[in-house]
Structure 1
Amino acid sequence: MSADLLPALLEQINGDARRHADWGRVASYIPELACVDPAQFAISVCCVDGREYHAGDVGVGFSIQSVSKVFTLALALGRFGDGLWERVGKEPSGRAFNSIVQLEVEDGIPRNPFINAGAIVTTDAVLGSNAPRDTLGEILLFLREAAEDGDIHINDSVARSEYATGDRNFALAHFLRSCGNLHNSCDKVLGTYFHHCAIEMTTAQLARAARFLCGGFAGQRMIGIERVRSINALMMTCGHYDGSGAFAYRVGFPGKSGVGGGIMAVVPNVASIAVWSPGLDRYGNSQQGTAALERLSRDTGWSVFS
């Protein structure tokens, strides 16, 4: 599909999203997200030729939530390389993102770095012996450099809301620590974890930040190509929790979702994409966002399988 046709297609996708009566349900277990209007939609596409296309509520910032796990993973792999996989696996979980059952059965080694337990271990690894403030500064710096935008910040109200209602994540952290797979205190790790999940971005910022995973963008080599391949593979197989197989089938390229309604996706050597609609499906993935990416994939022919 010619890039010249993308603006019209994105406007069609935006219009289709807004005609749906069912937007899904917001993440009501996080009070700050519970009050977000689900009837919102935005999509941004950055093509490797440098052109960008946007439609919908592209000026509205949203909590990226678990999408931030991609960036902490990039930092952890840069620091520890394949040594990270001694503490966290690379397999789909087949369970809810906050499940503790599998963690107990598998002796405190999370299935992958995108479920909550795996992301908590990754956060612990990135923390090392540093102060949370310094680690959060490092994560923000990485994001700002990737997006070429200094106006990316943490929403402290969302972070506090997550901390106040994060009992399940505390349970996961304490279990990980009991198995020797958490080196810092649970409070220190989770304080850092909740804050990087509370980073707020627009779809334009997020699509730009994803360029380093796409390839083909001049000056966007943030990490080594072997790490890019690893992260994209994990986004394809594990990026949508127990809905990852359905997402791969419907969309056909790597993506990572967050319960704030954002999805960051990559078509290698073609484009980086961000979509946002806060209403979620039963797996905790953006309902209209997933439908939008399916339509984009179908109408452009973009897929890693073709």
Structure 2
Amino acid sequence: MSAYRRLGLVGDLVGTPLGDVTTGLVDRRPTDRSVRGVLRGDGDSETEIENAKASLLLRIIPLRSAGRRSGALILLRDVTELRLRERELVSKEATIREIHHRVKNNLQTVAALLRLQGRRMENPEARAALEEAVRRVGSIALVHETLSQSFTDFVDFDEIADRLLRTVLDVSGGPAAANRIQPDRFGSFGMLPGEVATPLAMVLTELIQNAAEHAYGEEGGTLSMAVNRIRDRIRLRVSDEGVGLPDDFDPAASLGLSIVTTLVEGELGGTLEFERRTGGGTTVAITLSV
């Protein structure tokens, strides 16, 4: 009675056709079986009825005597609060996705403005600095674009890493660099939370860009990304086949590598190592917890 009162029932249930009463209270929706037919109790079934005031979950169990239907047992559960919470969660998820979508659009606008400003620069160093800023903003926008299409706060980072490998190489050195340098990825990042994906995307952008601009000559080579994830521990190795590290190598002297160091050690709480490869080339090893 309490549940039917929430649906809007006025009067008593005793002595009334349950199917007729219920049909008059619920919202009209196209269904395979009408509410009235379900409440006849001809078969074992489960249905949910609702209107603007309440939601009820009904389980109908037919009762038989001597092989003939003699009635039905109807188990009723008031799920109004549960459905309200579900709708609130859906609304919040949609709002969060919309926020990520708008952030992505705003970041792309900023990148376009920086790109336009760079074209007006006559100083090559200033133009190069603006181009680097465009790439950094673009890597953040890529994460927000992925989050805007996700129903959770986690993203498939493998897709982001592959897109960064393609786009950063193409933007850093043009189509010629993209043809000379062959990107390759081994292993899987898996699903990463947004607060990890954003700085990690920036780290990869800087490492890929640095390798494209400084590691390779005209002969080109392979830029590989090896990922080993065990539970919440990720070990990432970004390796090139380039000229290798100079004898006086200092990561603090490069803005890009300084950003990498700050993001890995400060924001991600990981470790960072630069290694010289036997036979030439450089490996950047990153270890972090997610």
Report 1 or 2 for greater relative contact order, CA contacts < 8 Å, sequence distance ≥ 6. Answer: 1
Interval of TM-score (by shorter of Structure 1 and Structure 2): under 0.3
Greater fraction strand: 2
Give TM-score scaled by structure 1 length. Answer: 0.24
Question: TM-score, normalization: structure 2?
Answer: 0.25
